[in-house]
Chain A
Amino acid sequence: MSEKAMNETRDVNVRRRPGRLRGVGAAAGFMACATMLAFATGRAAMAQTVLLQGGKVIPVVGETIEKGDVLIKNGFIEAVGESVDAPFDATVVDCTDKVIFPGMIDAHTWRGMDQPNESPPVTPFLNVYDAIDPSQLFFEDSLRDGVLSIHIAPGDDTVIGGMSRVVHPIGLTPAEMTTASDVALKLSITPKSGFDRMRQMAMFRETFRKLEEDMKALAEKTYEDKLRDDGKDLDVPPDEAQKRGRELLKPEDVPEKDRNLLLLTQGKLRVFIHCDRAMDVVAGIRLAKEHGFFDQAIFVLGTEAWKAADVLKQAKRPVVLDPRLIHDETDPLTGEEKETFVPKVIDDAGLQFALLRNWGSSMGERYLWYQAARCVREGVSREHALKAITLWPAEMTGLGHRLGSIEIGKDANLLVLTGDPLDMQTWVEKGYVQGIPVYERSEDIRLERLFAEPGADDGPSENAEGEATTEEHHEIHKNEYKEVDPDKRPKRERREGRRGGRRRPRPE
């Protein structure tokens, strides 16, 4: 298959073809792009065998290796251990005093899409593929923050939203970014805007009733067509005809708009069900059981939904937690404030959970590791806190065999960190996606700018090779900078870009 043809195939799984990422630039960065482009083109082809040597390996599954090696080959983790021999063609990366950790996973977000939802309520035929905007700074931020897999699903303002996919935050097209396509269907029990809960549920019932009706008609027609082809007459009552017809139905016979719904009701499709309130959890579980997709359901909870912990405990299904980890209540009579740390309640209920990043914060909550650190702070075990940002979201998206831990045979989505993943002073030093180096802190121009001396900011480096550091750049241009009035420099595009189209907050 030619390079071009592959790029046009939208659902290609790239795991066995690291070369496909060749030529991939930074997800977005108008500044970092140049560096990373050079970075990817220059090294991807060679860097297929990499030995991360002498770091503290935190594999998430199994014991931590205080000083160990990880060998990456053909995009996979080939070997892990206290001492791994470097093959002759391996690039050896010294990780002394560093920590090797699996790439973190964002279990559920609509960020990265230009718009989270289509306006019609029932759109199971849509695919986020068509809305992913690789140029969003969101992806670059994710890379910098160590989130190497992102499950992008339609937003919550929907009844049946559409198909999600897991992407890595590097690539120039959604196809290049895709780790796994058609991961799950998105449902929301919490009403779409303009709906109330009765209408929301009525919409579900109507959708499934209509699906059943259409399928019956289709099955009957299929059976009749077969009889006609065989030159026979209709020999059974409609019920039996429908039953026999169903067995003859091929997936491609089903209209595209119904295909995902049918798979859902057959229990063949993973489904993320958004339940903002505890009351929605109960309705969600009932709906899932009634229509045969309970065993495929992952519940995406709001903060208040922890109150359904008992119900969830019985259901034993994984949950994705609201990024606001603390639920606040004020007693209307006494004015007493009560805080509930949600992950602790969910963890105590014995459920698998995934943590999300809080984009409404301007501080640490925007980092997955920080959310995990908060869990440890409030008494969740470190093991579970780490799994909630790695292995568990991988399993929820059906990628437990590929992502979420450092184990032989898994995708080489790895981070080299400057310290413990839950430490405040830790930064991501290097990132690898399927064995390809995609992030290098020393070459992260934007980060460098955020630490830089005044005067070194704004205006991209003109060196496409990414060789000039900000300091050198500043040195070259220091005379120009002196004359520039700071207020006349081009406006930073940071806010809009990073927020994924979010508007500047209104004054309170």
Chain B
Amino acid sequence: MMKRSCATQGAFGGGAIFAIALACCLVQGWASAALADDAMPVLIRAKKIYLSPGNVVSPGAILIRDGRIDRIGDKIELADEVRVVDLENATVTAGLIDANSNAGYRSGYHDAEHASECIPEMRVLDTIDLESNDFKNLAKDGVTTVFVSPDSASVIGARGAIVRTAGAADKRVIQEASGVKATIGREPIFKASFNRTPSRFNVSFLTRRPTTRMGLVWVFRKSFHDAQLKARGQEPSSRGEGSPGDASIPYLMQILNGEIPFRIQARSQLDILTAIRLSREFNFRFTLEEGTDAYRCIDELKENDIPVIYGPIFDYPMGFRAGTGESDRFRYGAPSDLVKAGVKLALSAGDLSGEAALPMQAGYAMRNGLSREQALAAVTTVPADLLGISDLAGSLESGRSADFVVWSGEPFDATTRAEMVFVNGTLVSDRTVKNGATPADDAEAGSKPSEEASDE
């Protein structure tokens, strides 16, 4: 376990600093409580700071003032009174970004949106519970920003949201409605009660959800085809059932015009190739989600310049992924093969947490061939780039809001955990505090810390 010493230090602090540092060692709980209030600037010293993948300062320090990274680098001259957190062996990286998360809403077999197969006018933000424990768990694991991807039950689904996992409620949402998500594969077919025929009378292909991949692709193509007709002022011949609603048309056209990001979830080689075929037919660009078989389509992905949000990684499929039959041909080497081939790769934990959370996904990718820098890029800079938030997140720069993780060792190692997580200027998780200790307990055990601190 990590030892932390904490001290208040002025520019001309003098000899009292050491004594106070010693005193404060006894009162970690109090120190943490004090860290949480933004009144005093905080200086964190660590063994290593990854400003961005490949750009390392060692040892490094980071000064946080008013929730922002005031200064960052190897040496920071102190001009005024700050609180110092000295973490031996710790490393700092930017907050992790999961570009394909299901946090905050229930993705299940019976919660699929039934209004239509094509719902880009809807926003997943309207169904997200920002106070959900999903976000708390993500933040605790060092994930500070997520793209909440809509449920995969629709052929052309809703628009996702980019949100922070913690912090002030009014600053949580970065983009209300970002990319549209489409799904090619089993899920639009077998989610939502497995697509039985809706009633006795109106039984026809047009009145039910697709039951095969043929039907799914037909819905996909008809949506874009009808949208194009409509945009040209023509009325689709089969207007009515199976055609996208009027509300969807502008969004479908925006996808075709490249005005909003489009992402397609596909796992098996068959579905990935279908997605690429469709993108050529309708001339749109997209990002591939999940992509279990992406290593089988490396040439096609490269040729069409398609980024991949790969994952979750698994040793073998479980849960509903196993049920889809789309994840049987996984490869340990898939992420590293994609990166080596020059495919833009972000990693994602999807709906998984605990020992399958994003840092472990990165660790696993490292076990299977990625370098630490590549793995770090795949969970910070690359997803930031894909989401178009590179100026906000993904790397550390002075002037940005404090959005970073202090790891107990090298990031993504099996023996490492996120010790402190800052999201948008706020310390939201601090595990350097010893188990069960409250600030009050510690204050009693030690001397009166607040008084000593104010002596400075």
Assess A373 versus B328: contact at CB under 8 Å? Given A362-B356, A424-B363. Answer: no
Considering only residues 301-331 of chain B, those with a C-beta below 8 Å from chain A are 313-320, 322-323, 328-331
The answer for the CA separation of A344 and B417 in the assembled complex, in Å, is: 15
The answer for the CA separation of A423 and B413 in the assembled complex, in Å, is: 7
Assess A364 versus B270: contact at CB under 8 Å? Given A377-B415, A495-B316, A508-B109. Answer: no
Q: Identify the closest chain A residue to B362 (Cβ).
A: A424
Chain A residues with CB below 8 A from B190, complex form: 507
A379 touches B1 (CB 8 A): yes
Chain B residues with CB below 8 A from A369, complex form: 414
A454 touches B295 (CB 8 A): yes
The yes or no answer to B269 lying at the interface (CB within 8 A) is yes
A495 touches B322 (CB 8 A): yes
CB distance from B382 to the nearest CB of A (A): 20
The answer for the CA separation of A17 and B435 in the assembled complex, in Å, is: 51
Considering only residues 360-418 of chain B, those with a C-beta below 8 Å from chain A are 360, 363-364, 366-369, 408, 412-417
The yes or no answer to B233 lying at the interface (CB within 8 A) is no
The answer for the CA separation of A361 and B270 in the assembled complex, in Å, is: 27
B329 touches A492 (CB 8 A): yes
The yes or no answer to B355 lying at the interface (CB within 8 A) is yes
The yes or no answer to B48 lying at the interface (CB within 8 A) is no
Chain A residues with CB below 8 A from B360, complex form: 363-364
CB distance from A221 to the nearest CB of B (A): 57
A450 touches B328 (CB 8 A): no
A-B contacts, 19 of them at CB < 8 A, read A335-B133, A362-B314, A362-B356, A363-B364, A364-B363, A366-B315, A373-B414, A377-B414, A377-B417, A425-B366, A425-B367, A452-B331, A453-B337, A486-B296, A492-B329, A494-B328, A505-B322, A505-B323, A507-B320
The yes or no answer to A422 lying at the interface (CB within 8 A) is yes
Chain B residues with CB below 8 A from A376, complex form: 415
How many residues from B make CB contacts under 8 Å with A? 45
A332-370 near B? 1/0 per residue, CB < 8 Å: 000101000000100000000000000011111110011
B108 touches A378 (CB 8 A): no
The answer for the CA separation of A31 and B293 in the assembled complex, in Å, is: 22
CB distance from B310 to the nearest CB of A (A): 15
The yes or no answer to A504 lying at the interface (CB within 8 A) is yes
Chain A residues with CB below 8 A from B413, complex form: 373, 423-424
A363 touches B320 (CB 8 A): no
Q: Identify the closest chain B residue to A373 (Cβ).
A: B414
B315 touches A363 (CB 8 A): yes
A508 touches B319 (CB 8 A): yes
Q: Pick the residue among A453, A487, A498 that contacts B316 (CB under 8 A).
A: A498
Chain B residues with CB below 8 A from A244, complex form: none
CB distance from B420 to the nearest CB of A (A): 15
The yes or no answer to B284 lying at the interface (CB within 8 A) is no
The answer for the CA separation of A376 and B331 in the assembled complex, in Å, is: 29
The residue among B318, B355, B416 with the most chain A CB atoms within 10 A of its own CB is B355
A370 touches B414 (CB 8 A): yes
The yes or no answer to B14 lying at the interface (CB within 8 A) is no
The answer for the CA separation of A422 and B354 in the assembled complex, in Å, is: 18
A400-423 near B? 1/0 per residue, CB < 8 Å: 000000000000000000000011
CB distance from B326 to the nearest CB of A (A): 12
Q: Identify the closest chain B residue to A340 (Cβ).
A: B435
The yes or no answer to A258 lying at the interface (CB within 8 A) is no
Considering only residues 252-300 of chain B, those with a C-beta below 8 Å from chain A are 269-270, 295-296
The yes or no answer to A374 lying at the interface (CB within 8 A) is yes
The yes or no answer to A287 lying at the interface (CB within 8 A) is no
The yes or no answer to A457 lying at the interface (CB within 8 A) is yes
Chain A residues with CB below 8 A from B133, complex form: 335, 337
The answer for the CA separation of A369 and B317 in the assembled complex, in Å, is: 21
The yes or no answer to A88 lying at the interface (CB within 8 A) is no
Chain B residues with CB below 8 A from A505, complex form: 318-319, 322-323
CB distance from A500 to the nearest CB of B (A): 13
Assess A363 versus B323: contact at CB under 8 Å? Given A423-B413, A450-B333, A451-B331. Answer: no
The answer for the CA separation of A457 and B293 in the assembled complex, in Å, is: 13
The yes or no answer to A254 lying at the interface (CB within 8 A) is no
Q: Pick the residue among A374, A451, A498 that contacts B368 (CB under 8 A).
A: A451
Q: Pick the residue among A337, A360, A361, A507 that contacts B323 (CB under 8 A).
A: A507
The yes or no answer to A326 lying at the interface (CB within 8 A) is yes
Which 10 pairs, one residue from A and one from B, show the smallest C-beta to C-beta distance? A373-B414, A362-B314, A379-B1, A451-B333, A450-B332, A454-B296, A376-B415, A362-B318, A363-B356, A424-B363
B332 touches A451 (CB 8 A): yes
The answer for the CA separation of A374 and B408 in the assembled complex, in Å, is: 12
A495 touches B414 (CB 8 A): no
